[in-house]
Amino acid sequence: MSLKKFIVISGMSGVHKIVGNRSNGIIIENIDSKKRKFVSARSHQFTPLESISIYTSDNDTVPLSDVFKTISENLEQNPLPSSKMTSDEAFSFLEKTLPNYDKDQVYFSDVKKLVKWFSFLNERELLDFSEEEVLEEAEEENKTEE
């Protein structure tokens, strides 16, 4: 699954899709309304979802795409907590999803964002964990390296 085209922006709620770059910012598209907008790099910080990882207790990290895949696979046994979850509910959910997460470096706000982003992308069927997409991503990466 590629999270390459999805981004979160400081000061703006939700997940957005990158449609273009400029030297002084990026052009984003609202996933629901398909409206495009320029966002200045001077006013905002951009974080691609593919660059986000969850700290683990063995001093390593797990990419967000892997966490999303685990959540998706275990959704029936471990349903998403509501958006009004308590801290205990959030960490119980994360414990079942990623048992070795670092309890000192992963905060309640991080888990809330994780659940919010997964819900948003999953409801719009933008998360695809099929083997074909993984192969396409690998081929795409090989082309850019050549």
**Rounded distance between C-alpha atoms, residue 112 and residue 110, angstroms:** 5
CATH class of 52-139: mainly alpha
DSSP 56: B
Question: Tell me, what amino acid is at 57?
Answer: S
Q: Are 19 and 28 in contact (CB under 8 A)?
A: yes
Looking at residue 132, its pLDDT comes to 46
Q: Are 87 and 79 in contact (CB under 8 A)?
A: no
**Rounded distance between C-alpha atoms, residue 33 and residue 4, angstroms:** 20
Query: CA-based Rg of the chain, rounded to a whole angstrom?
Result: 16
pTM of this prediction exceeds 0.75: yes
Q: Are 49 and 15 in contact (CB under 8 A)?
A: yes
Structural domain boundaries of the chain?
6-49, 52-139
pLDDT tens, residue by residue, 58-100: 999 999 999 999 999 999 999 999 989 999 999 999 999 999 9
The pLDDT averaged over each successive group of 10 residues in the chain (146 residues) is 88 95 96 96 96 96 95 95 95 97 96 96 88 54 56
